[in-house]
Amino acid sequence: MRGAPRGQMRGAARGQMRGGVAIGSGAVVPRLAAAGDPREKAPKPQPVEDVMTRSIAAACRALALAVPFGLPAVLPAALPIALPAALVAAVPAPGAADAPALSIELNRLEPSGAACQAYMVMENGTDARFESLALDLVLFDAEGIIVRRLAVELGPVAAAKMRVKVFGIDGLACDAIGRILVNGVVSCDTGAGARDDCAGMIRTRSRASAEFLD
């Protein structure tokens, strides 16, 4: 800088100070942003909804591009998108709908004098023979008022077999029954002994005028 005007030297020094800190022989190191410096903005977090929306939009675009070229060849490489956990959880486990069940149908309500006869069809979808299957039934009228409670024995029924059970409800007209609820299992016994999982296996349906619920 020998021979340079003194004003230019001062200007150069100020130029070296801009954006840095002068040290020793005039070398300049970059200025470090202080903690909390408002000029240094942290990246704004992106809402999960926005990320999912962009992922779905990308999937739709990939699908639109894949159709003219054949889906099987293009889609596996074009859709590297992870499904949300909620969607994965919503997919039923394989075979869950085919679990063994005790299907009990209220098939018919038939007047019999001052009583009502109920016809129930039980289908044993398990591989066990039930020596006893007694249900606690609660009967409601059309207004939802409890009108009767009784225990009904549906056993014995062999494995993978169907059985019809008819029982009378004394002192109650059939049209006075609005619905029948399986309130619980009184007894569930196989040849190997009592079971405590029968309530979870029961599936109900009705062909009669009254509902049949579990």
Q: Domain residues for 59?
A: 53-87
| Cβ contact 136:128 at 8 Å | no
pLDDT digits (tens, 9 = 90+) for 22-51: 444 444 444 544 445 545 555 555 555 565
Does the pLDDT value for residue 112 go beyond 70? Answer: yes
Sign, CA torsion 158/163/166/169 = positive
Task: Give me the number of domains the chain comprises.
Answer: 2
* pLDDT at 97 (0 to 100): 52
Q: List C-alpha distances in Å: 65 to 37, 76, 83, 179.
A: 46, 13, 20, 55
Among 64, 87, 110, the domain-final residue is 87
Q: Is pTM, for the whole model, over 0.75?
A: no
Task: For residue 8, tell me if it sits in a domain.
Answer: no
Per the domain annotation, does 94 fall within a domain? no
Same domain for 104 and 184, yes or no, is yes
How far lies 31's CA from each of 41, 43, 153, in Å? Answer: 16, 21, 87
**Are 142 and 206 in the same domain?**
yes
For range 110-129, the mean pLDDT: 95
Residues 112 and 150 in one domain: yes
For residue 156, count other CB atoms closer than 10 A to its CB: 16
